[in-house]
Structure 1
Amino acid sequence: MTFDLDLFVIGGGSGGVRAARMAAASGARVALAEASRMGGTCVIRGCVPKKLMVFASSFREMPAEARAYGWDIGDGAFDWTAFRARLHAELDRLEGVYRRLLDGSGVTIHDTWARLADAHTVELADGRRFTAKHILVATGGRPERPDLPGAHLGIVSDDIFLMDHLPRSILIVGGGFIACEMACILQGLGVAVTQFYRGAQILRGFDDEARGLVAEAMKARGVNLHCGTNILEMAQAGADHGLTGAVTGGGMGPPVGESHAPEGQSGGPIWVKATNGTEATFDAVLFATGRAPNSAGMGLAELGVEIGRRGEVVVDSYSQTAVPSIYAIGDVTNRVNLTPVAIREGMAFSRTVFDGIPTPVDHELIPAAVFTQPELGTVGLTEEEARARGPIEVYATSFRPMRSAFAGAPDRVLMKLIVCQQSRKVLGCHIVAPEAGEMIQLAAIAVKMGATKEDFDRTVAVHPTMAEELVTMRSPVRKA
């Protein structure tokens, strides 16, 4: 059978773009469809704008710290409007880079929605159809909104970067990395932040000791964190629940900018009743309660592609679905939902299908960072996971780093290694500290290579640094 294309990629995020470019470089005829902006979640409404907001929020404490070091500097004020303009200019620039990379690789771009008509045919929103020997689904995920009364009044993470003005107060619902990062960002920008999480502790799935330290640091910085708490109902303030905007819990905080209501919402303060019995009003409510794969309406299940209970496209270790011509990578598969993983999956797909080198995706020992303040960097097993697998030793230290201690700040950091008693291999490394994401990237190389505790011990420390503690801890704090 003759096809129009060798590969049609649906989705212009980091994974889809990488797969398309690599396939085109091998000589394949490639097209890509993207219904939104090129760059996907990471570039347009995720990692990149979030990290820029992390940088912006980190300057709030800088003047006080600078004064402790002898600088005569005032507190200043944050201008969201000026920052937002520069932020969107940068996102526009990056989207242009993605388009130029695709164009330079010879990939045909279709700026429209696409679905599968059959196992080898993609149909665009305007009715055009293209046949392809292989089809790659890389449509990513989307924020979920909970099913509760008044939930339509809240915003989701995609909306944060589109706000015209910062709210004076916000309730963040959720305890995952998006919720916690946004709590720290907005608090750092001067917003009064309250956070509800229905679980016992934030950052489920991360090391207990590490996430406990992050939670304490967030509260110390002013985040009004309530675990074991959720929204019972919410409504426009002053509506039939009888409130007129008076706060009965949570607090509104000092004015930072004009109140903002997301586009399409009714505007004005939002009344919230919590499961712990408290009631409060907030300028905004942000739901960071999970993400769902973007697989609906694409015709996948009708063609025999297996779809999981959360909407994920089920694939094998080579990213192939139950239909041989259809593959899927990235968040739509709900494997490990991280941008670098989607890129690796795209590379593995291209090598397997177009270079003839079968390359399974390696999902073992993937490092990750949570950009809270302080950051949490992690790779490998948590103490709890490792303990369940066999005898371990735990090496850990928590201390006030030199920079903040000199300035009189109470901040603490954590350096932690999980070691197998038998093999002496470092099974996990967990860091809570400023720039932990930078540190864990390098530590992950050693852990991925199978370094032992003695390998760490043989490494000479870089002094004075926080990270030197990773190679100077001689005695375990506990064994299990």
Structure 2
Amino acid sequence: MANYDVDLFVIGGGSGGVRAARVAASHGARVAIAEQANFGGTCVNRGCVPKKLLVYASRFPDQFRASRAYGWQQQDAQFDWASLITHKDTEISRLEAIYQRNLVNSGVVIHAEQATFEDANTLRLATSGQRVTARYSLIATGGYPHRAVFPGSELAITSDEAFHLPELPGRVLIVGGGYIAVEFAGIFAGLGVQTSIMIRGQQLLRGFDEDLARLLAEHQTRRGIALHTEQFIRQIEQTADGLRVSSSTGATYTVDTVMLCTGRKPNTRALGLEQAGVAVDDKGAIQVDAHSRTNIPSIYAVGDVTDRLNLTPVAIREGQAFADQLFGQITPLELDYELVPTAVFSTPELGTVGLTEAQARERFPDIRVLQTRFRAMTQAFAGSEDQVLMKVLIDNPTDRVVGVHLLGEGVAEMAQLIGVALTASARWQDFRRTVALHPSIAEELVTLRG
């Protein structure tokens, strides 16, 4: 057998790559990892973690308004964007240091530079020029924001830059209708920014249940977020009054910031995949089998770079399964991609598990839909118009629950535990047998009738 420098070389220090490296090392493998930017990847540095902190900040005005109904005498609250960003950066630095420390403590050798394949078992480090041979390699380089190219597109930002804006804009146009777009729309609007969204289609959140998407659009409109449908940007021009945006309908909008949220691409740039012979699909995603192996037996890939299901916990599970199976001879737990709980941290937020109604009707001939829409106690008492939507999809012949979709305050926390029930193939009878917890939003889920 060939003599290699390491048993495993991981390219990418995000959540999936770090988990795989640490687990492989715990099984006795000699492991190295290369990351040219920040350990923790997109999620920790430019994604879920800092975004959730900004979401929390944006919800305080709602809480301040509601507090009057609960007897609190309102004080004048002043928001300081620079303070929020500074505090956020301090927290992100702390988390990144923990990622690096955990790798070192696990015995993983860290290379803070880009790694590129020279062949299927040899990698070159860009800064030092060092060559490393590896029995196995794992690609976990994640994704990056897609930037459409049109006249003036260089004047726009993406989510990467949104976390480092020097000041809060007065007017922002967000292009795109996915979860990143609606989350940032809620953030900016909550912080007092005049916010609008532009989408090519008619509806937000393509791929999510349509009832949830429609109700979220209603709430965003109520919060002052303008929705411009069936159009796209033709041009952005810098003017004395800001950025002048010309759309495909002939309409023009003047804003301070244009934010492009038009999807993400697998980050396979500058990896030398051609030299290694690794196959990618027409979107640039690395093609893998059920065990995360590419067409090259020594090279694997996990996470967003494979474009299977682009969520941090999925990348972590894939990295764990890869390392356990290859280096620990442990059969990993099966991952059902259709039952992964998903949250959208809009305001109000969404939590969803399983099939949408459209998907369920395609899969099963006899579907029962139970649904309710109401104001929660906390909103009703404070005079808020925010609503809760709960929707349950049941396969009638088996009574199995195949999808649950929620909109409302705190429903992401509910979705996690609902995911446990659906993973265990819970029937609607099991939900109905469960005694309601009163008074709560969640009790409505087990008392639904229809």
**Match for residue 418 of structure 2?**
443
Deviation track 1:89-108 (CA, whole Å, cap 9, x = no partner) reads: 00000001001100000001
Q: Are the aligned partners of 1:143 and 1:291 in contact in 2 as well (CA < 8 Å)?
A: yes
Matches within 5 A, 1:38-57: 38-57=39-58
**Match for residue 357 of structure 1?**
330
SS for the counterpart of 2:235 is: strand
Q: Are the aligned partners of 1:400 and 1:413 in contact in 2 as well (CA < 8 Å)?
A: yes
**Moved runs in structure 1, 4+ residues, more than 6 A?**
none
Matches within 5 A, 1:9-408: 9-125=10-126, 126-237=128-239, 244-245=240-241, 269-359=242-332, 361-389=335-363, 390-408=365-383
Distance in structure 1 (CA, Å) of the matches to 2:405 and 2:167: 36
Deviation track 1:443-474 (CA, whole Å, cap 9, x = no partner) reads: 11111111111110000000111111110012
SS for the counterpart of 2:56 is: helix
SS for the counterpart of 1:21 is: helix
> How many Å apart are 1:277 and its aligned residue?
2.2
Amino acid at match of 1:150: G
**Match for residue 255 of structure 1?**
none
Distance in structure 1 (CA, Å) of the matches to 2:115 and 2:237: 37
Q: Are the aligned partners of 1:315 and 1:327 in contact in 2 as well (CA < 8 Å)?
A: yes
Where structure 1 has 5 or more consecutive residues not aligned to the other structure, the ranges are: 238-243, 246-268, 476-480
**Match for residue 413 of structure 1?**
388
Deviation track 1:65-92 (CA, whole Å, cap 9, x = no partner) reads: 0011111013412111111111000000
> How many Å apart are 1:234 and its aligned residue?
1.2
Q: Are the aligned partners of 2:117 and 2:275 in contact in 1 as well (CA < 8 Å)?
A: no
Amino acid at match of 2:25: A
Q: Are the aligned partners of 2:288 and 2:294 in contact in 1 as well (CA < 8 Å)?
A: yes
Amino acid at match of 2:234: L
> How many Å apart are 1:229 and its aligned residue?
2.1
Deviation track 1:389-442 (CA, whole Å, cap 9, x = no partner) reads: 221000000001111111111111101100001111000000001111101001
Amino acid at match of 1:81: A
Amino acid at match of 1:102: L
Q: Are the aligned partners of 1:64 and 1:75 in contact in 2 as well (CA < 8 Å)?
A: no
Distance in structure 1 (CA, Å) of the matches to 2:316 and 2:338: 15
Amino acid at match of 1:276: T
Distance in structure 2 (CA, Å) of the matches to 1:213 and 1:188: 18
Amino acid at match of 1:347: Q
Q: Are the aligned partners of 2:221 and 2:227 in contact in 1 as well (CA < 8 Å)?
A: yes
SS for the counterpart of 2:61 is: coil
Deviation track 1:303-322 (CA, whole Å, cap 9, x = no partner) reads: 22111111100000000000
Distance in structure 1 (CA, Å) of the matches to 2:65 and 2:288: 52
Deviation track 1:169-202 (CA, whole Å, cap 9, x = no partner) reads: 1100000000010000111111111110111100
> How many Å apart are 1:298 and its aligned residue?
1.1
SS for the counterpart of 1:23 is: helix
Q: Are the aligned partners of 1:425 and 1:451 in contact in 2 as well (CA < 8 Å)?
A: yes
> How many Å apart are 1:275 and its aligned residue?
2.1
Q: Are the aligned partners of 1:63 and 1:75 in contact in 2 as well (CA < 8 Å)?
A: no
Pair 1:374–1:447, CA change in 2 (3 A): same
**Superposed CA RMSD:** 1.0
Distance in structure 2 (CA, Å) of the matches to 1:452 and 1:358: 28
Where structure 2 has 5 or more consecutive residues not aligned to the other structure, the ranges are: none
Distance in structure 2 (CA, Å) of the matches to 1:428 and 1:75: 44
* TM-score, scaled to structure 2: 0.98
Distance in structure 1 (CA, Å) of the matches to 2:277 and 2:145: 26
Q: Are the aligned partners of 1:202 and 1:227 in contact in 2 as well (CA < 8 Å)?
A: no
SS for the counterpart of 1:24 is: helix
SS for the counterpart of 1:62 is: helix
* TM-score, scaled to structure 1: 0.92
> How many Å apart are 1:361 and its aligned residue?
4.6
Range with bigger deviation, 456-465 or 354-363: 354-363
Amino acid at match of 2:343: A
Q: Are the aligned partners of 2:339 and 2:423 in contact in 1 as well (CA < 8 Å)?
A: yes
> How many Å apart are 1:363 and its aligned residue?
2.0
**Match for residue 468 of structure 1?**
443
Distance in structure 1 (CA, Å) of the matches to 2:269 and 2:48: 24
**Match for residue 423 of structure 1?**
398
SS for the counterpart of 2:173 is: strand
SS for the counterpart of 1:345 is: helix
> How many Å apart are 1:358 and its aligned residue?
4.4
Distance in structure 2 (CA, Å) of the matches to 1:103 and 1:435: 36
**Match for residue 262 of structure 1?**
none
SS for the counterpart of 1:273 is: strand
Distance in structure 1 (CA, Å) of the matches to 2:346 and 2:162: 16
